[in-house]
Amino acid sequence: MLQRDQFTDQAINVVNQSFRLAYELHHSFVGSEHILWSLSRDYAGAASDSLRAFGMDETLLREM
């Protein structure tokens, strides 16, 4: 079983935000699209920097 102390606060925030996004969209699952969207909102992370470097942002990911 995974323990909370195995993850950074930033990782936990991304996962929690993914759950909120899925809930707001009335989805019954959390998929890769929710995680990517959450990562794009995490402006302090390397994943967000990489997504932006390839032209991906929150608006574009939502449209996709």
Q: Is the pTM of this model over 0.75?
A: no
**For residue 29, what pLDDT band results from cuts at 50, 70 and 90?**
very high
Please determine, for residue 54, whether its predicted confidence score (pLDDT) is greater than 60.
Answer: yes
- pLDDT of 58: 73
The two tokens of residue 37 are 């969207």
- pLDDT of 22: 94
Please determine, for residue 42, whether its predicted confidence score (pLDDT) is greater than 70.
Answer: no
Closest CA to 42 of 10, 3, 6, 64: 10
